[in-house]
A and B are shown apart, each in its own frame.
Chain A
Amino acid sequence: MTLEEKVIEIIMEQLGVTKEECRPEAAFIDDLGADSLDLVELIMEMEENFGIQISDDELEKIRTIQDVIDFLRSKGVE
């Protein structure tokens, strides 16, 4: 499973959205119906799955699915 596929799988499960909705440019709040609490929970799930820590400052910069993937790559996740 690629990193993209894994990330999308987690997002689908956490936010209850479909694969089709999970385009890379999809924004969590504007396109996927998430609120700030959803986002915190989603990030906790990413931390758990990829063994990393995401600070609140870093969390603020994450807006789209691509942002998550880019961030994970920057932390050395493949």
Chain B
Amino acid sequence: MKRRVVVTGIGALTPVGNTIQESWAALCEGKSGIGPLTKFDCAVFETRIAGELKGFDPLRHVNKKELRRYDDFIIYSLAAADLAMEDAGLSTAEKDGQRAGVIIGSAIGGLTTMEKAKENIMAGGPRKMSPFDIPAALANLAAGHVSIRYGLKGPIHCPVAACASGTYGVGDAFRIVREGYADIMVAGGVDAAITPLGVGGFNAMRALSRRNDEPQRASRPFDRDRDGFVMAEGCTLLVLEEMSRALERGARIYAEVAGYGVTSDAFHMAAPPPGHEGASRCMAAALADAAMEPSEVDYVNAHGTSTPLNDTYEIQALRRVFGDAIGRVSISSTKSMTGHMLGAAGAAEAAFCVMAITDGVVPPTINLDHPDDEFSGLDLVPHRSRRREVRAAMTNTFGFGGANAVLIFKRFEE
């Protein structure tokens, strides 16, 4: 019999809150975390809005020396790890260090550091490069620093799978615990790429919303007037634990990880194929892994980026997988409120699924004023959250490079 894996802790930094509790409460109230972009002077950029963290105090999690040397994505990861470990009631994994690990996915890594280093080397030559530039830029150093802080000596990894990175983080950690390679995994995703290269690069792809005058209305998944995603930042980490260990130590159990699916489109560097067959195969794989029927899923946290193609094809894929059950499942995109946290998105949305199950509430898709005709007959939870029983919840993420990942969580029953 397979080992079972449960969620016992969540640490989340999102544009709508600096803890999971704060973030979840904001989502349930339909609050947007999008505003004018303030992290750099963006006057000449086509997009001047973003989902930035608000009121986050890094010095509660790192000292001044660390603050100077670490890229934001590392600092966010250490902060989310502090929150997740505290939430799980674990101070350190010292005793079980070799049976505990960490996986933090990131789409981009330390972009701010790379940009600054390039400026330094152009201005002053190679001697002006800091010995901390490389360790601050490498994407796997988020997991590295968390392992050092908490003595996690088991598996360590950094999936780089664009917008699906965080889902790969949680999903791969789930498999590691289920297969017995570790008993505890701190797992999720991070990104801090609201920088000139990040925004300029996605702008060049025409991927970002340009609704600069109405930041809070810019991310509008499934709406006929959607015009691209809104770049956001953050980190979410979950503590995944083998069930019997969690029960033995009397841990609070949020939910059980039920299934995980990954597929590739093998189609295009950035665009999904019409109908997004890779996405439906991915959802089907996760359902099969969970040994569940679509009718057992009450909530889907959609990838729902607010880009014209993704939203259309994702719904086509959902219809194909859910068949007749599609009418009774609630589907929403919390990116309507958080924006797109890139590598952190999948982990944050996994956490939102867990909260939906725990609280019996489905979060809304805000700004859904005029749903596209092709989305008729669906419960897209427009504008307001709703109470409903959530026995199981699925979260979808589809990354550039054709990287699809789907996770399913279910209510925990012994």
Tell me the A residues contacting B by CB distance below 8 Å.
14-16, 37, 40-41, 44, 47, 53
Q: Are A16 and B131 in contact (CB under 8 A)?
A: no
Chain A interface, DSSP helix/strand/loop, else mixed: helix
Question: How far, in angstroms, from A63 to B410 measured CA to CA in the complex?
Answer: 58
Question: Would you give the shortest CB distance from A25 to chain B, in whole angstroms?
Answer: 23
B244 at the interface (CB under 8 A from A): no
Q: Are B130 and A44 in contact (CB under 8 A)?
A: yes
Q: Are B131 and A40 in contact (CB under 8 A)?
A: yes
B60 at the interface (CB under 8 A from A): no
Of the residues A14, A40, A53, contact of B65 by C-beta under 8 Å = A14
Tell me the B residues contacting A by CB distance below 8 Å.
63-65, 69, 127-128, 130-132, 135
Q: How many A-B contacts are there with CB distance less than 8 Å?
A: 18
Most chain A CB within a 10 A radius of its CB, from B64, B65, B128, B135: B65
Of the residues A15, A16, A41, contact of B132 by C-beta under 8 Å = A41
Q: Which residue of A lies closest to B65 (CB)?
A: A16
Question: How far, in angstroms, from A67 to B156 measured CA to CA in the complex?
Answer: 40
Question: How far, in angstroms, from A40 to B134 measured CA to CA in the complex?
Answer: 14
Question: How far, in angstroms, from A15 to B65 measured CA to CA in the complex?
Answer: 7
Q: Which residue of A lies closest to B130 (CB)?
A: A41
Contacts of B63 in A (CB 8 A): 16
Contacts of B69 in A (CB 8 A): 41
Contacts of A47 in B (CB 8 A): 127
Q: A41-B132, A44-B128 are in contact. List 16 more A-B contacts (CB 8 A).
A: A14-B65, A15-B65, A16-B63, A16-B64, A16-B65, A37-B131, A37-B132, A37-B135, A40-B131, A41-B69, A41-B130, A41-B131, A44-B127, A44-B130, A47-B127, A53-B127
A-B contact pairs, 11 of them (CB 8 A): A15-B65, A16-B65, A37-B131, A37-B132, A40-B131, A41-B69, A41-B130, A41-B132, A44-B128, A44-B130, A47-B127
Question: How far, in angstroms, from A16 to B63 measured CA to CA in the complex?
Answer: 8
Question: How far, in angstroms, from A42 to B27 measured CA to CA in the complex?
Answer: 45
Question: How far, in angstroms, from A44 to B131 measured CA to CA in the complex?
Answer: 10
Contacts of B131 in A (CB 8 A): 37, 40-41
Contacts of B65 in A (CB 8 A): 14-16
Question: How far, in angstroms, from A44 to B63 measured CA to CA in the complex?
Answer: 21
Question: Would you give the shortest CB distance from A14 to chain B, in whole angstroms?
Answer: 7
Question: Would you give the shortest CB distance from A47 to chain B, in whole angstroms?
Answer: 8
Q: Which residue of B lies closest to A39 (CB)?
A: B131
